[in-house]
Amino acid sequence: MKKLILLLTVILCSCASSNEEQDKKEIRALMKHQASDWSRHDLDCFMLGYWKSDSLKFQGKKGITYGWQKTLEKYKKSYPYQEDSGELKFKIRTISKIESKSYYVMGEYHITRETEKLDGIFMVIFKKIKGEWKIIADTSC
């Protein structure tokens, strides 16, 4: 009986670890796709990685923006042209599980433009909503 319980415990832990690695892989892929969208100056596609909700929160240098639409408008105002958005690259430092369908991601962003580079740090919270990973909160500075 003890061997059976031990075997089941090992199997369950293995499955949980496998699921967590798959979650992290999917989150990394989404962020890679977002960087590509940004670099093409396709801000509408970039925003597909965010939760399309008035409850989305974005904390930047100028304060908190509430809602998906307002966040998109802010990006479009701050980065109106291709040369403004430049090329985006993320350097992910850590992806940590919060609960079964939520993770936080901490790292750096690097935007290279013809005239300058913009570098900063971020922490985003991802939640799986209707089978898709979405950013529900973003702090970037």
**For the chain, which domains are there?**
2-140 (3.10.450.50)
Rounded to an integer, what distance in angstroms lies between the CA atom of residue 75 and that of residue 10? 47
- Strand 102-112 versus strand 87-99 pairing type: antiparallel
Could you give the percent of the chain with pLDDT greater than 70? 88
User: Which pLDDT band holds residue 92 (cuts at 50, 70, 90)?
Assistant: very high
Looking at residue 5, its pLDDT comes to 45
Q: How far, CA to CA in Å, does 131 sit from each of 87, 90, 120, 134?
A: 29, 24, 30, 10
- Strand 87-99 versus strand 63-66 pairing type: unpaired
Rounded average pLDDT over 38-52: 98
